[in-house]
Amino acid sequence: MQESRSPENPIIPEYCEGTDMIDEICSGEEIDTRIPSLGEPKIQSPLAQKGYSCFVSDNDRVLIRVSHSTLKNNINKKKDPLSFEFAGPRNRIYFDPTKLRCAIVTCGGLCPGINDVIRAIVLSLYYGYGVTSIFGIRYGLKGFMPEYGLPMVDLTPQAVERIHEYGGTILGSSRGHQPVEAIVDALERMNVGILFMIGGDGTFRAGAKICEEIRKRRLKISLVAIPKTIDNDIYLVQKTFGFDTAVEMACQAIRCAHTEAVGAPNCIGLVKVMGRYSGFIAAAATNALREVNFCLIPESDFDLEGENGLLKALEERLRQRKHAVVVIAEGAGQKYVRTEKMEKDPSGNLKLGDIGLLMRDRFKEYFKKIGMEASVKYIDPSYIVRSVPANVDDRLYCANLGQNAVHAAMAGKTGMMVSLWNGRYVHVPILSAIKRRKQVNLNGRFWLSVLESTGQSPLKNT
């Protein structure tokens, strides 16, 4: 496989919301940004034939770190600054659209915007490139396995016309591992030229193995991924689709909790939001509303008991203001609900203990113990957040992700995901994206904003 050339025309973006997270992610490490290719693109793009001229080349780049000191250091060392390949349509493509078959598969948990991405891919392939053979794989990677007998879904513009109005995924999804060799066997049998995978970290790890098996067999199959995780925890992505919708829905729940809290004396509004390993939803919703008094996330350990613990701080808050709002991510405080034998889901993730219910009960027990009348209103909107249609911002984002995935795949690129970085759409190798998980930086401006909004202390006794 060929790899893209070194940068000649770096694109320096303006400062945009989220650059704090970008600085936190990189922390100076070297990242492999080379995108594998199936071969030299030799076919003139149908977009050029239609008179479009907004093409980019592999030499157009987006800088990973945008700061004067970074650029100056690279100039002094006489080396190109680290950058990603710019996404967008290429003047020449690798695949012949008249002979191409494309497949789309969605994996993992539900997330707002999946149908929007599917729709964008289908419409871009059909109207942009003239590809008419597009189908969906049912229920994730299970759909490739003959023993399940799952039929494929024919995806036409008419079939996807209104799917963006609904939550979930029209293709269905599933968790769990399937044999990589059997998946590639199925791709060969179906004569698939491009596979679009919509999923998160586990899906990407499967995608990397599929790419390796394709390479071993010397097949000309492109695999392009679109990052999907409601928790916003995929590495080297400024923001994942569905995150804005999740934060919006979380804010609605927090508003309700705040209304309940101020409606009764010594009332605590407790809201549990999604965030298995990363607390971006909880932190972003806290920053958006400024009505939260305690924001608890997996990255920041806290104590319940003790003079500096959460319960004592909550007591002081009630004595002063007569109400409180607590937001907790599902993965926070797991040391309080962890058992000796933790079960795993089909994807291999540890099944978390229900920290929300534990907190509700501990709050009640504590105030009863100290003889202080208090009530707790508990709200868990998790499955509602997962299943709703995407909001307008996420819909626009999903459309751009889907379209740029098509442009990359048609140009013969493979083993990559489409990402938003520094306000630009870029190509990121899957192998780089699965190096680690993105988490809230407790020393960054994003978390500092949470602390300035809530006024909460470290909630630690030592």
Specify whether the backbone of 306 is left (phi greater than 0), alpha (psi in -120 to 50) or beta.
left
Helices (H), 220-354: 243-262, 280-289, 310-321
Check residue 335 and report its DSSP letter: G
Here the tokens at position 305 are 């008991």
Tokens read off for 343: 């079960």
**Burial of residue 370, with CB atoms counted within 10 A of its CB: 0-12 exposed, 13-18 middle, 19 or more buried:** exposed
Q: Among candidates 358, 116, 361, 384, which has minimal Cα distance to 251?
A: 384
Question: 172 to each of 77, 104, 151, 159, 359, how far by Cα in Å?
Answer: 51, 11, 12, 15, 34
20, 11, 18, 3: which is closest to 81 by C-alpha? 11
Torsion angle of C-alpha atoms 181, 187, 193, 198, degrees rounded to 10 = -80
Q: Is 231 a catalytic residue?
A: yes
Give the residue among 217, 216, 223, 57 at the shortest CA–CA distance from 137.
223
CB of 210 within 8 A of CB of 184?
Answer: yes
Count the helices and strands in the chain (H runs, E runs). 15, 18
Q: Record the tokens describing residue 45, joined without a space.
A: 């793009």
Nearest residue to 233 (alpha-carbon basis) of 242, 225, 224 = 242
Q: Would you say how long the chain is, in residues? A: 462
Cβ burial, residue 243 (10 Å; 0-12/13-18/19+): buried
Specify whether the CB–CB gap between 47 and 129 falls below 8 A: yes
Per the residue annotation, which of 231, 244, 303, 394 is the catalytic one? 231
Token pair for residue 67? Answer: 């700061």
- HSE, CB side, 13 Å, CA atoms: give it for residue 170: 21
d(CA 182, CA 141): 10
Cα distance between residue 1 and residue 94, in whole Å: 13
Q: Report the catalytic residues.
A: 231
